[in-house]
Chain A
């Protein structure tokens, strides 16, 4: 018989009206968030407050106002709190002169494990990031990707319940990147939290269960990507349709009051439709296609991804890494 699920408060990361100021400089302001388990991506331009939010979550910063609870724990109980949180920083951060193994092992000792337990955990973590062969070499001699991986190893080595990763995919080659994403999924599949900040928006799209969009210290949007997209009413959802009679389809779809624009492709093999209600549009389009003998080859939303959310809600060129 499986154990009863934990109460909601013990399974979410909750920000209650949290603000952080560095003197007079705003870090984040009035953040109210409830982050469920799974993979959550933090997206926003440089200086939007992503790293501040992560530092608050990891207890490295104390909020100027408000409270933060990570799975029912707070930084008032550091012995429990820090054991549950793993943090992979954005910058090269390791003590001078350490080998990869020493780096992971020595920080495990700070958790209070004995030599044998720490050694076993260190090797396990290093193995998970595929760095066993280089583990006895000095970190200073590692490539950027290897440093990224050893940092990841130290953040997962104590088997945390909440994994917070600042730009964890930077500098990784495609193969390692895929393996790392697999590792995140494995963590999330056990009901843990994986929080990632990333500039690579198409990867955010692929790996995230939910996103948090930030700008100028404020949370602009949060939730599942599709759900967030549906709520952006000033930008109708764009749907690409490839079919054999695009002109006919275009003439019929304006029966729906939600359709605001339809453009037939130059090649005459499809059209682009803008609608304020995608769900209703799909139903209507099916009906029209059936009644008029239109053969629909493809129907695909064009702008319900993170890149579009970023452009609509934040704007600018920061999200151009798609």
Chain B
């Protein structure tokens, strides 16, 4: 029998804060994602519209100066920048965010499952929650940079360009921009992660994300037509988010049949809960073999 000395001493030095460790996953994922030229170009394209909006806000606020440059344009009047402007901004950037997610999201979890890498994460001081947060961070932080962050920058820009009265009347927009975009980001990120956890093939997972939206809209329309109801919209994620955005940006919607904004919120939260449940079932150190 071997006789062993007990000379081992563990590390007792400084550590990074526990809460920040999930950010290690996005850091690596982004480095890998931006090696793909197509994604890099797509990401850059996502900034064109916000830049265009910034130029528009500047010109809109300086119409007087512009009028002096164009003969006969002394009667030009600036457009109102308010809920409609930021709703269009949110919808446009939201669509781009969706396209970006359909390329990034499906490859986030499935490779770890295919390569049996989950035990490696979970035999460290790193929980399932932190893993999901880390993977969510890959998409959510990226999408934030093209949605609510430029949205709020535009809001601040308009505030600085317009008079004090504008801010008094439109300060609520900041919260609407943030909340409207965050709910959308959470929704598409978690959907993409849940699909990535359950569908191992990247192409099929990407297609499944698109299918959920288009199939939802089609099925919703069919249910509404056959049953002569508006309740079919419960499964139409696109319609629900538009309903919520319209409410947040205080827009008037048509008088046609549609579910209430409360029902739209509930529908979106149910979708989020379902995605989390699907992730919780699949993100385990080991698959349970029955």
Contacts and interface: CB of A to CB of B under 8 A. Distances in A.
A110 B290 contact: no
B119 A82 contact: no
A28 B286 CA distance: 15
A72 to B, nearest CB: 13
How extensive is the interface on chain B, given as a class? 35 or more
Interface in B1-34: 1-2, 4-8, 10-11, 13-18, 21, 24, 28, 32
A37, A60, A161, A209 — which one has the most chain B CB atoms within 10 A of its CB?
A60
Interface string A98-136: 000010001101111110010000000000000000000
A192 B10 CA distance: 11
Interface string A10-49: 0100000000001111000000000001110000000000
A192 B8 CA distance: 7
Contacts of A107: 120-121, 124
B170 interface: no
A23 B288 contact: yes
Interface in B86-112: 111-112
How extensive is the interface on chain A, given as a class? 35 or more
A141 interface: no
A96 B10 contact: no
A192 B114 CA distance: 33
B8 A82 contact: no
B48 to A, nearest CB: 29
A65 B112 CA distance: 29
B15 A112 contact: yes
A82 B6 contact: no
B125 A191 contact: no
A111 B112 CA distance: 19
B126 interface: yes
18 contacts: A22-B288, A58-B119, A60-B285, A78-B125, A83-B125, A91-B116, A93-B120, A94-B117, A96-B114, A106-B28, A111-B124, A159-B11, A188-B2, A189-B5, A190-B4, A190-B5, A191-B5, A191-B6
Complex A-B, nearest 10 residue pairs according to Cβ-Cβ distance, in ascending order: A191-B6, A112-B15, A60-B285, A93-B116, A96-B111, A190-B8, A87-B123, A82-B125, A112-B16, A110-B124
